[in-house]
Amino acid sequence: MQADGTGIDVTKLENLKLELNNYELEKCKGAVLRSKAIWASESDKNTKFFLNLEKYKQENNAVKELINDKGDVISDTDGILDIEYSFYKNLYSCVKVDNVKMDEFISSVDVKINQNEKEMCDAEILYDEITEALMAMSKKQKSWYRWAYDKILL
């Protein structure tokens, strides 16, 4: 009971606190995800930091100005949206196709492989070829390389 004589439903109060906590957790997780902070862990609960990081990334990823067809620099939001709209409208609009050139191109494409290409495809894959291909991978692919080396080559 409160001092003014009104009763408090403790169960309802605890449920509301739990709902609020869950909402804050979800909001924080969303901010962490959108901020793309790879090093963030579930134990981090610094919502303000991640919300500010998300805001910072959004501001840096926003298009601030574009140059239109006439060469004018446009920096207002509506103008930028109009330029983007017209660019993609023109990019994906139907264009007249030259069927003769299309037929020439399609007829120049080999649909069959020759005997040498067949033998190369049918040949056994060598250990050295696999190692060379895996070593040529980019840095981002190295984790896959480590997995492949452990699972396939050993």
Distance of alpha carbon 62 from alpha carbon 9, whole angstroms: 48
**pLDDT (tens digit, 0 to 9) for every residue of the chain, 154 residues total?**
455 556 677 788 788 888 888 887 777 777 666 655 544 555 555 666 767 777 777 777 778 888 988 989 988 888 888 898 988 888 887 777 788 988 888 888 877 888 998 898 899 988 888 888 877 877 666 666 666 666 665 5
Secondary element (H or E) of residue 91 = helix 77-91
For 127, the domain range is: 99-153
* pLDDT in the model for residue 124: 92
Contacts of 74 (CB under 8 A, 6+ apart): 65, 66, 67, 68, 80, 83
Point out the domain boundary residue: 16, 41, 62: 62
- 3-state SS of 109-153 is CCCCCCHHHHHHHHCCCCHHHHHHHHHCCCHHHHHHHHHHHHHHH
Residue 103 forms part of a structural domain? yes
Residue 82 forms part of a structural domain? no
Q: State whether 4 and 54 are in the same domain.
A: yes
Kindly report the pTM of this predicted structure.
Answer: 0.32
* pLDDT in the model for residue 91: 83
Residue 70 forms part of a structural domain? no
Distance of alpha carbon 48 from alpha carbon 28, whole angstroms: 8
